[in-house]
Amino acid sequence: MTDAFTPSPLFERVERARRRKPRIKDTHITLAHGSGGKAMHELVEGLFLEYLRNPLLERLEDQAVFEVPFTGNTNSNGSVKLAYTTDSYVVDPIFFPGGDIGRLAVNGTVNDLCVSGARPVYLSAGFILEEGFPIADLRRILESMRDAALEAGVQVVTGDTKVVQKGSADKIFINTSGIGVIESRVNISAARARIGDKVILSGSLGDHGTTIMIARGELELETEIESDTAPLGSMVEEMLNEAARVATIDAIHCLRDPTRGGVATTLNEIALASEVCIEIHEDLIPVREEVKGACEILGLDPLYVANEGKLISIVSAAIAEPLVARMRENAYGRDACIIGEVKTEPQGIVAMRTGFGGTRIVDMLVGEQLPRIC
């Protein structure tokens, strides 16, 4: 797509720093530890992983993928490959244009299963309710969850409810866990990006995060922008089918939904896991004008703003163009496009070719940007 660039001493210093083992230096939890960026990665890798380490957790994917052995009725041994994930939702406000905390909880968990190549099947839902929360609002949220589950083709089959005293929580928090079945011979992981692969984005950036900011009253703007929260299962299924038709299903190497920390942080996670350089092109990245305007007012970069209905795919160059064409046939992939490619050096770095012809490092999100965005 472009000529290779020579890493500068700055790139090399950043590369060395990124390879160091994360250490938790903070003495107290801050909002930055939930941002999806550097602070959260240091917390997870430097603390949680230290105490809970095991081979599945060490992969630090959005879900755990494992096989469960079983014995069939014919006494023949076999196994089923499953994906399992969990997430908690504390978004504020709980109702916003394009969705609410209930729709967000279902879609977010469904998507974390989908990007492993799994077909989501069952969800659990745990509710923490603050004393005094209106029953009418709970009805509205449950209706939204029911409709979202129906669209995604999953069922909520178990759950839990806790009520805490007034002031001990903020209205409602929801935890959802999900299980999915991996029925095809996929091998999707953040560690599988390969030199020469293309980077595909399924649509415009920052819709969800910008919607939440406006709904909070942080911006006095009148706009029709809505959260992009959506289930991505049908699009992922179509992508896998197209890859198998054109070449092989194994040509899809990485899939991720760029939620907290945005596309920038997600690409950094992939670059580090795969030990490659990912180069993206500023002029190819789709961002709505309303989102650009809101981010400019707040001094934010859309690359770091949360999305809830988009995915990043890193695929073999041979299937990139037909894959984008297939994605554009799906309602949630109409603006899909290639935004970059995978390079050799500097490893663990995301670099962006700017509109002015230069190159800059796109690091992980640093500090607290948009708390309680999901």
> pLDDT tens digits for 96-142?
999 999 999 999 999 999 999 999 999 999 999 999 999 999 999 99
What is the pLDDT, as a whole number, of residue 310?
A: 98
For the domain with range 1-24+31-53+186-374, which CATH number is right: 3.90.650.10, 3.30.420.40, 3.40.30.10, 3.40.50.620? 3.90.650.10
pTM above 0.75, yes or no: yes
What is the pLDDT, as a whole number, of residue 13?
A: 53
Is residue 200 a contact partner of residue 324, using CB atoms and an 8 Å limit? Answer: yes
**In the chain, where the domains are located:** 1-24+31-53+186-374, 64-69+78-183
Residues 18 and 31: their CA atoms lie apart, in Å, by: 22
CB-neighbour burial class of residue 64 (10 A; exposed 0-12, middle 13-18, buried 19+): middle
> pLDDT tens digits for 210-263?
999 889 886 677 778 899 999 999 999 999 999 999 999 999 999 999 999 999
CB atoms inside a 10 Å sphere around CB 237: 16
pLDDT surpasses 50 at 1? no
Residues 313 and 307: their CA atoms lie apart, in Å, by: 15
Confidence of residue 54 (pLDDT cuts 50, 70, 90): very high
Alpha-helix residue ranges (DSSP H) falling in 90-134: 101-114
The 3 state secondary structure assigned to 252-266 is EEEEECCCCCHHHHH
Confidence of residue 15 (pLDDT cuts 50, 70, 90): low
> pLDDT tens digits for 59-75?
999 999 999 987 666 55
Is residue 201 a contact partner of residue 169, using CB atoms and an 8 Å limit? Answer: no
Confidence of residue 5 (pLDDT cuts 50, 70, 90): low
What is the pLDDT, as a whole number, of residue 205?
A: 96
Residues 231 and 113: their CA atoms lie apart, in Å, by: 10
Q: Give the rounded distance of the alpha carbon of 11 from its chain centre.
A: 26
> pLDDT tens digits for 297-351?
888 899 999 999 999 999 999 999 999 999 999 999 999 999 999 999 899 999 9
Radius of gyration of the chain (CA): 20
| Adjacent-strand bridge partners of 87 | 176
| Amino acid symbol at 226 | E
Residues 104 and 229: their CA atoms lie apart, in Å, by: 6
Q: Of 13-27, 50-64, 226-240, which gets the smallest average pLDDT?
A: 13-27
Confidence of residue 25 (pLDDT cuts 50, 70, 90): confident
Class in CATH terms, 64-69+78-183: alpha beta
